[in-house]
Amino acid sequence: MPLQTDNVASSHPDGIPAAHLMPFATTLLAALLSLQPVHLPGYVNLTPAFALMTVYYWTIFRPDLLPPLALFGIGVVYDLLSGGLPGVTPFLFLLSRVAVLRCRRWFINRTFSFLWGGFTLLTSAAMAGLWMLHSVLAFQFIGFTGSVFRTALTISLFPILSYLLGRIQFAPIGTG
């Protein structure tokens, strides 16, 4: 089934103003969700990149509601709270936004599998980039098994989050 985007605008012209914060709020919540301690064996290694999912989704469907400044802010907050090197996550988010915006027209009115395929490419590239960046910053080779499994889990969970974000998008926000 083709994804509805611009053609739904008439049924949900602009949405309500408060709902325009949803892309920002869901991305921030997704970032905080990644920090939640889940007491499952090995989970910490596999923590899905929830925020990358929301960044990808909203950049395709409502890039106007998730501007670069918001992404930068969320990225900085994530880095500060996770104890990571400040700047890495904003860099990842902004780079992802640029990459997705360049290809955005290919995803409009396409099937979900096309959207999922795009996310698979983005996540694989992002995780490989993160791994390389951390290895360079640490001056040593960091094992990449964890990153591979994390990538796989992130890609696997995308349909669920995408469905939830779709519900949010088509309920109060509209498609812009």
Partner 1 sequence: MIILAKIDQVMFEAVRISAADDAAPILDMLSRPPAAIEYIFDRGQGMIHVYQDNLRLVEENKRLLRWQQTALALASENTQLRDLLKLTPEAAVSNVTARVIASSGGAFLRSLLVDAGNNVGVVRDQAAVTGEGLVGRVYEIGARTARILLITDLNSRVPVIVERSRQRAILAGDNSRLPSLSYLDPATAVRSGDRIVTSGEGGVFPPGLPVGIVDTVDRGPPRVEPYAELSQVEYVRIVDYGLTDALPTPVATASPFSRHAGPGTADTANRR
State how far the alpha carbon of 47 is from the alpha carbons of 41, 89, 113, 155, in Å.
11, 15, 23, 12
Residue whose structure tokens are 């989970």: 43
The answer to whether 41 contacts partner 1 (rule: CB under 8 A) is: yes
Helix 22-34, helix 50-61: angle, nearest 10: 160
The answer to whether 40 contacts partner 1 (rule: CB under 8 A) is: yes
Residue of the chain from 106, 143, 156, 167 that contacts partner 1 (CB under 8 A): 143
The answer to whether 130 contacts partner 1 (rule: CB under 8 A) is: yes
Nearer to partner 1, 35 or 160 (CB): 35
The answer to whether 80 contacts partner 1 (rule: CB under 8 A) is: yes
Nearer to partner 1, 12 or 134 (CB): 134
Quick one: which of 10, 21, 9, 13 has its CA closest to 168?
21
At 111 the three-state DSSP class reads strand
The answer to whether 34 contacts partner 1 (rule: CB under 8 A) is: yes
Quick one: which of 58, 61, 60, 96 has its CA closest to 75?
96
Q: How far, in Å, CA of 84 to CA of 76, rounded?
A: 10
CB of 137 to partner 1, least distance (A): 7
The answer to whether 35 contacts partner 1 (rule: CB under 8 A) is: yes
CA angle 52, 97, 32 (to 5 degrees): 30
Of the candidate spans 4-12, 55-63, 93-101, 126-134, the one that interacts with partner 1 by CB under 8 A turns out to be 126-134
The answer to whether 67 contacts partner 1 (rule: CB under 8 A) is: no
161 CB-contact burial (10 Å; exposed 0-12 / middle 13-18 / buried 19+): buried
Nearer to partner 1, 16 or 81 (CB): 81
Residues from 44 through 63 that contact partner 1 (CB under 8 A): 44-45, 47, 49
Residue ranges binding partner 1 (CB under 8 A): 32-45, 47, 49, 76-78, 80-88, 90-91, 130-131, 134, 137-140, 142-143, 145-147, 150
